[in-house]
């Protein structure tokens, strides 16, 4: 570019940085050794957390759902910037696990989760130091009303900051209780750009509810595990 006017150089640079990433490039980057390594590490981290919940808590693991998608960056966003024009590719993964439990033992089950958190730490981020969680246990033991105040819904989840969320069927609210929903249908499976795993494929949330009586779910924050910037 030596000798070219500054305006010409600027136009060439903007043109190079201003194109949306092609599908071919997205697939190439998504299948690169760096992306594969990051993908394996992200999936293993999620599965390790699920394994800890299955081994340490009173919950019985029944279903794991993993979604993994890589998207290409966009052309320049002038009006409503989202940041998608800053990268060539971004890959993210979401992981959720569904467990069965006995609805007659709600207090013991949640208290058991807190005891597991006391022992294990980060994989199970809820423990007996979490005041709200203790009030939920008291609610199910019949010691208090809903900790969120009178005339409110039965508790249905525990969450702390950016860690995972634990949610469950409302078992004391009769026909008005909210239930854990089925995972959304898998989108087309097109590795390495898009993966959707449901293990076991034949198991539904309704199946777990029929077998155990109620369903718990842990939802991990979406993890952006691989990005190539423009």
Provide the token pair at 164.
Answer: 């995972």
Q: What is the pLDDT of residues 52-70, one digit of tens each?
A: 999 999 999 999 999 999 9
Average pLDDT over residues 133-149: 81
- Residue 11: the pLDDT is 45
- Residue 155: the pLDDT is 94
CA distance 96 to 162: 15
pLDDT at 221 over 80: yes
- Residue 139: the pLDDT is 93
CA distance 187 to 66: 11
Q: Exposed, middle or buried by CB within 10 Å (0-12, 13-18, 19+), for 105? A: middle
Q: Residue 78: pLDDT band by 50, 70, 90 thresholds?
A: confident
For residue 12, being part of any structural domain is answered with: no
Provide the token pair at 3.
Answer: 């000798």
Q: Which residues constitute the domain of residue 39?
A: 20-229
For residue 13, being part of any structural domain is answered with: no
- Residue 9: the pLDDT is 44
CA distance 205 to 55: 20
Q: Residue 151: pLDDT band by 50, 70, 90 thresholds?
A: low
The pTM (predicted TM-score) of the whole model is 0.87
Contact 59, 216 (CB under 8 A): yes
Average pLDDT over residues 124-128: 98
The number of domains in the chain is: 1
For residue 8, being part of any structural domain is answered with: no
For residue 2, being part of any structural domain is answered with: no
For residue 15, being part of any structural domain is answered with: no
Average pLDDT over residues 5-24: 62
Contacts 24+ apart (CB under 8 A), 9-15: 14/76
Residue 214 CA, chain-centre distance (Å), reads 21
H-run or E-run covering 23: helix 23-30
For residue 111, being part of any structural domain is answered with: yes
For residue 196, being part of any structural domain is answered with: yes
pLDDT at 213 over 60: yes
Q: What is the pLDDT of residues 167-193, one digit of tens each?
A: 999 998 877 889 999 999 998 889 999
For residue 188, being part of any structural domain is answered with: yes
């Amino acid at each position: 570019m030596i000798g070219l006017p500054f305006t010409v150089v600027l136009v060439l640079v903007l043109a190079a940085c201003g194109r949306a990433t092609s599908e071919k490039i997205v697939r190439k980057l998504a299948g690169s050794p760096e992306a594969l390594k990051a993908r394996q590490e992200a999936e293993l981290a999620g599965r390790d957390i699920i394994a800890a919940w299955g081994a340490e808590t009173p919950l019985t693991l029944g279903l794991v759902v993993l979604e993994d998608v890589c998207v290409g960056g966009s052309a320049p966003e002038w009006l409503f910037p989202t940041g998608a024009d800053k990268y060539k590719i971004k890959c993210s993964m979401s992981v959720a696990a569904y467990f069965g439990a006995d609805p007659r033992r709600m207090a013991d089950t949640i208290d058991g989760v807190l005891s597991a958190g006391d022992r294990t730490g980060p994989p199970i981020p809820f423990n007996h130091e979490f005041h709200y969680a203790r009030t939920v246990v008291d609610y199910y033991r019949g010691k208090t009303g809903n900790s969120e105040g009178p005339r409110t819904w039965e508790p249905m989840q525990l969450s702390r900051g950016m860690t995972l969320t634990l949610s469950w069927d409302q078992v004391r609210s009769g026909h008005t209780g909210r239930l854990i929903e089925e995972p959304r249908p898998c989108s087309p499976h097109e590795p390495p750009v898009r993966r959707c795993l449901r293990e076991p494929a034949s198991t539904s949330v309704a199946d777990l509810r029929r077998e155990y009586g109620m369903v718990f779910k842990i939802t991990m924050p979406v993890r952006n595990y691989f990005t190539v910037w423009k």
